[in-house]
């Protein structure tokens, strides 16, 4: 079991500990549960879906990297597939606070990059901030998305974000988690192809500046992240944070990064390059490169 889970695991109900132990017994636990695994856990524990998801929140929060705030937030996104995707807040000392990844963003992007087509609910251990409410409003589930909080009845995103401003106000039809392909040709080595593939699936309808980041770890594993824009602009998620999120949720550390590669258009109205370099250097990653898309 990965060390991050050990303390909170001991505090879980005994029946849940017994059911989860085989899944958490290896460090490679991907911070997600398949629909079949969720059904099995409910059968073994006698918990309903809501009780199980709330019970799993401490494990999601244990994935947090709150080195600035020292405040752990956990989130679990449920996809239409039935899969459960963990998320947690990720902070990056040595950079600006704007680089922070919120737990809800973490869970949403985790689901997106694992191939989930739509989300039905997100469960969080603290009330979503306005930034996250706006970010979730970009989803193809829209304001119908259920928000589950401890001690409160389920409510929709529309309840938490009344009179919302979103993609529809800007006549944008494609939403986050919809199928997307920008048709850039794959080329180069495996890492370069992973970055281009990530750029191809970017959600960038406002700037038309798709981009993707690929991180190669020292053991050869590659994590890629796609850029996810927002109608309100500021809650947009950079591709580097999306890639780091997958790596951290999978149990990797910053020192495990061997090299990083960004794919973006040279003529785009915005660039991810300078901020990506700044964050990666703060993580002591020195092998940073870029491929220009055309």
196 is written with which tokens?
């281009």
Q: Find all residues with CB under 8 Å of 248, minimum gap 6, and list them.
A: 63, 65, 90
Identify whether the C-beta of residue 217 lies closer than 8 Å to the C-beta of residue 247.
yes
Distance CA(75)–CA(85), nearest Å, equals 8
Would you list the DSSP string of 168-225?
GGGT----BTS-----PPP-SSHHHHHHHHHHHT-B-TTT---EEEEEEETTS-EEEE
SS3 31: coil
Query: 22, exposed or middle or buried, with CB in 10 Å at 0-12, 13-18, 19+?
Result: exposed
Beta partners for 139? 176
Catalytic residue, chosen from 37, 49, 104, 180, is 104
Active site residue 180: no
- Residues marked as catalytic: 104
């Amino acid at each position: 079991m990965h060390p991050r889970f050990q303390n909170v695991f001991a505090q879980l109900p005994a029946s849940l500990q017994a059911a989860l132990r085989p899944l958490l017994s290896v460090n490679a636990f991907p911070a997600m549960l398949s629909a079949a695994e969720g059904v099995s856990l409910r059968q073994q524990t006698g918990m309903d879906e809501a009780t199980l998801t709330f019970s799993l929140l401490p494990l999601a929060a244990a994935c947090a990297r709150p080195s600035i705030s020292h405040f752990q937030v956990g989130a679990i996104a449920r996809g239409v597939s039935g899969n459960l995707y963990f998320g947690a807040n990720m902070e990056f000392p040595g950079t600006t606070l704007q680089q922070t990844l919120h737990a809800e963003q973490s869970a949403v992007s985790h689901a997106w990059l694992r191939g989930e087509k739509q989300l039905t609910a997100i469960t969080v251990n603290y009330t979503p901030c306005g930034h996250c409410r706006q970010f979730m409003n970009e989803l193809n589930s829209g304001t119908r998305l259920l928000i589950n909080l401890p001690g409160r009845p389920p409510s929709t995103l529309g309840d938490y974000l009344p009179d919302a401003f979103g993609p529809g106000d800007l006549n944008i039809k494609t939403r986050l988690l919809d199928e997307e392909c920008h048709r850039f040709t794959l080329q180069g080595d495996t890492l370069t192809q992973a970055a281009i593939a990530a750029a191809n699936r970017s959600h960038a309808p406002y700037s038309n500046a798709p981009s993707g980041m690929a991180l190669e770890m020292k053991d050869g594993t590659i994590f890629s992240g796609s850029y996810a824009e927002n109608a309100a602009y500021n809650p947009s998620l950079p591709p580097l944070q999306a890639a780091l999120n997958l790596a951290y949720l999978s149990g990797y550390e910053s020192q495990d990064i061997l090299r990083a590669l960004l794919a973006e258009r040279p003529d785009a109205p915005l660039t991810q390059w300078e901020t990506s370099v700044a964050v990666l250097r703060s993580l002591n990653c020195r092998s940073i490169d870029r491929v220009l898309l055309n």
